[in-house]
Amino acid sequence: MQVPKDYYDEIFQFSGQWDMPSACGLKIRQYQGRTYVIVTELYQDNPGTSVTYAGRSLAQQICDAKDLNINDITYIECKPNTNSKLSFYDEEFFEVRFAADATLPQYKPIDGETLKPIIAQ
């Protein structure tokens, strides 16, 4: 189950739970004055923690590596379409908001059509 390369511009290596070497697809886009960080789950090509379980730690690692401020980004998680017969592997996007007090993140589903002008940048 390969993730199509059009979902990401680069593979981002990060430290997952318990410092497990992990990887995700990454796109960073500027659109209408906002910075969008889009992380994509790589399934079997990720040796460690999933993007969802990495959460704020992954967002902060990306911000540190790319010289971004976590408070100034819109963070999007992508579950890519892998053309599987299982609906579990259908494409989904979520905007994730991290609370400053480290409570659980808030996930808001986003329609892929809404993201098309952002991703096309």
pLDDT of the residue at 18? 92
pLDDT of the residue at 85? 63
* Residue predicted with more confidence, 15 or 87: 15
Please state the φ and ψ torsions of residue 69, each to the nearest 5 degrees: -100, 125
Residues 72 and 108: their CA atoms lie apart, in Å, by: 18
Residues 70 and 54: their CA atoms lie apart, in Å, by: 15
The per-residue pLDDT for range 51-77, each reduced to its tens digit, is 999 999 999 999 999 999 999 999 999
Asked if 1 and 44 touch (Cβ cutoff 8 Å), the reply is: yes
